[in-house]
Amino acid sequence: MDPLVLGIESTCDETGIALVRGRELLHDTVASSMEEHARFGGIVPEVASRAHLESFVPTLNSTLAAAGHSLEEIDAVAVASGPGLVGSLTVGVAGAKALALALDKPLYAVNHVVGHAAVDELVHGEFPSRFLALIVSGGHSSLLLVDDIATSVTELGHTLDDAAGEAFDKVGRLLGLPYPGGPHVDALAREGDPAAIAFPRGLSKPHDMVEHAYDFSFSGLKTAVARWLEQCEIDGRAVPKEDVAASFAAAVTDVLVTKTLRAAENHHVDTVVIGGGFSANSQLRDAALMRGQEAGLTVRIPPLRFCTDNGAMIAALGSAVARSGVEPSGLHFGVDSAMPLREVTV
């Protein structure tokens, strides 16, 4: 029987704890402190850390009760040790170490970003022998070549400045939308014309594709939106917020999907997994599925509940690592706010 793995996620503002056996999710619980950050217009690390401290034990107990298991039945503990906010990571890692030590169970320190890809295995089943993973969130826009989700992940490209989700939040602020801006921009974009404004596609010109074929840049796009809005104010024109949102979202989506399809063709893979908080974006999901199908690719995107940070993604990656026979991390590792993506486990 596959081991029963407890997964702990605390990289930012969600405290997520889940139980997974093999590729089956038994239960996951998420406690978010998002409302506490909204009045500041962004994540406040100290507030997030305190929220994790308050939520850890209740979230753990809720997951165990809903899954019908006790702590003594757990076979292994997995925890996100990076990348993320140092204070938030520390709460989760400290809790995971305490549990592993008290229960005398193996502990796996795993990569939060890789977990965003791993969670899809709980939904769509076993991964193929090789696939691409596009991970897009508030802090990360990364393109990964995965030969084994537990042992072999190669980073093909990443964001050079603003990540996709971060750019959405900033444009949401420019448009006067509530925090977090991403979902509000997405909703507004569904009412607008994506071809109304010709916003730039970052790092997509021929000379960019030589050195940055799989890298992303959205800072210039954000600036282009700001300048367009400023010009509206100078000209005394009303701002067509729906068209701005739709055109901006189309520019982000176009770059993400185009570079992913190019990577799939160049690396001869036929499956793409998309994960991370920004994978909840409706334009990205629609474009990736449509253009992927046209290119003969299988595109796997988990349901919305698994897009944002959650314990299921860490438990799924921990389960994959345990099944692969990787040595446990022990108790002497620290948190790593800039954990490289080539490191699946510590």
Q: What is the pLDDT of residue 14?
A: 95
Give the Cα separation of 53 and 55 in Å (integer).
6
Q: Are residues 136 and 52 in the same domain?
A: no
Q: Are residues 298 and 315 in the same domain?
A: no
Domain assignment present for 336? no
Q: What is the pLDDT of residue 35?
A: 78
Residue numbers of the domain that contains 104? 4-119+310-323
Q: Are residues 88 and 184 in the same domain?
A: no
Q: Are residues 223 and 93 in the same domain?
A: no
**What CATH code is carried by the domain that includes residue 186?**
3.30.420.40
Q: Which residues of the chain have pLDDT under 50?
A: none
Domain assignment present for 332? no
Domain assignment present for 124? no
Q: What is the pLDDT of residue 18?
A: 98
**What does DSSP assign to residue 345?**
B
Smallest CA-to-CA distance from 295 within 330, 266, 327 is with 266
Give the Cα separation of 275 and 305 in Å (integer).
11
Domain assignment present for 252? yes
Domain assignment present for 211? yes
Q: Are residues 186 and 261 in the same domain?
A: yes
Q: What is the pLDDT of residue 139?
A: 82
Domain assignment present for 26? yes
Q: Which residues of 198-229 are buried (b: 16+ CB within 10 A; e: fewer)?
A: ebbbbbbeeeeeeebebbbbbbbbbebbeebb
pLDDT tens, residue by residue, 173-231: 999 999 888 999 999 999 999 999 999 999 999 999 999 999 999 999 999 999 999 99
Q: Are residues 82 and 207 in the same domain?
A: no
Q: Are residues 138 and 256 in the same domain?
A: yes
Q: Are residues 217 and 276 in the same domain?
A: yes
Give the Cα separation of 146 and 93 in Å (integer).
26
Q: Are residues 252 and 177 in the same domain?
A: yes
Q: Are residues 134 and 270 in the same domain?
A: yes
Residue bearing tokens 């010009």 = 231
Q: What is the pLDDT of residue 78?
A: 98
Model confidence, pTM: 0.96
- Which distant-in-sequence residues (6+ apart) come within 8 Å of 310 by Cβ? 9, 14, 16, 18, 28, 30, 119
Q: Are residues 142 and 101 in the same domain?
A: no
Domain assignment present for 338? no
Domain assignment present for 256? yes
Structure tokens at 272: 């793409």
Q: What is the pLDDT of residue 330?
A: 94
Smallest CA-to-CA distance from 318 within 61, 129, 154, 115 is with 115
Q: How many domains does the chain have?
A: 2
Residue bearing tokens 């990736």 = 288
Q: Are residues 107 and 141 in the same domain?
A: no
